[in-house]
Every structure is written in structure tokens, then in C-alpha cells.
């Protein structure tokens, strides 16, 4: 039984305007947690993609736009994904996908569960 839903906002929300380079962030928690999904979008209709590696694997997947944020799940048939304490999960945002339209004001939220049974 997972007791509490957590939401972690990755720091790209602080990027003002259009991204000009790829960015990444690491989520590493001091306790076990269960990855649920990522909600990601840009304020424009961009070609940006999000990937993850480490305790959670996500192949490059298109994010949404502000009118329709993308919900991205892990590349596994056994969802949700359990992540060990102190295990680093790296999320990488390719700001223009394969050379398409660059993301403006990207927003990425990582959702998971913690508590008894989270691991």
C-alpha cells in the first residue's frame, strides 16, 4: 500500500523563453519510492522529447503543449516502477526533439508514491 503521492517539479520551469540547449535533472530520494508517471509540456507546440535513465527507463517521448500536457510512463510492462533509496534517476529534455521546434517554458512534473509498501 502506497500512502502518499509525491510530485517533484524539475527545475526547467525556471527557464524563461525558448530553450537553446538540452537540459537534464536528477531525482535521487533518501527513501524508496514508486515511479508513477511524468506530466510534461511546453507553452508552445514544440518537438521536445523527454527521456529517463537509472532507476526508471523512458525512451525519448514527445512532451505535450500547455493545452494538452503529455503523460509519460516508464518503458516497462510492470508499472509502476520501484526505485531504491539513493538511486539516481536522470531525466533528459531534448529541447527540439530531432531538430524541430524548440520548447518554450517547459514544465515537467514527476509523480510517484512513498510510504509503507512503496518498495
User: What is the domain partition of the chain in residue ranges?
Assistant: 4-114
In CATH, the number for domain 4-114 is 2.60.120
118 — pLDDT class (breaks 50, 70, 90): very low
| 66-102 pLDDT per residue, tens | 888 999 999 976 668 999 999 999 999 999 998 899 9
Q: State the pLDDT at residue 35.
A: 93
Q: State the pLDDT at residue 21.
A: 79
In whole numbers, what is the pLDDT of the chain averaged over residues? 87
- Least confident range of 11-15, 28-32, 58-62: 11-15
Q: How many CB atoms lie within 10 A of CB 95?
A: 23
What mean pLDDT do residues 14-25 have?
76
Amino acid at each position: 500500500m502506497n500512502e502518499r503521492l509525491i510530485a517533484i517539479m524539475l527545475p526547467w520551469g525556471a527557464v524563461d523563453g525558448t530553450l537553446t540547449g538540452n537540459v537534464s535533472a536528477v531525482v535521487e530520494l533518501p527513501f524508496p519510492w514508486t515511479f508513477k508517471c511524468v506530466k510534461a509540456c511546453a507553452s508552445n507546440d514544440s518537438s521536445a522529447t523527454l527521456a529517463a535513465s537509472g532507476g526508471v527507463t523512458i525512451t525519448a517521448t514527445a512532451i505535450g503543449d500547455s493545452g494538452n500536457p503529455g503523460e509519460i510512463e516508464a518503458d516497462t510492462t510492470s508499472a509502476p516502477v520501484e526505485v531504491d533509496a539513493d538511486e539516481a534517476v536522470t531525466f533528459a529534455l531534448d529541447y527540439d526533439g530531432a531538430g524541430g521546434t524548440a520548447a518554450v517554458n517547459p514544465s515537467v512534473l514527476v509523480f510517484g508514491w512513498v510510504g509503507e509498501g512503496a518498495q
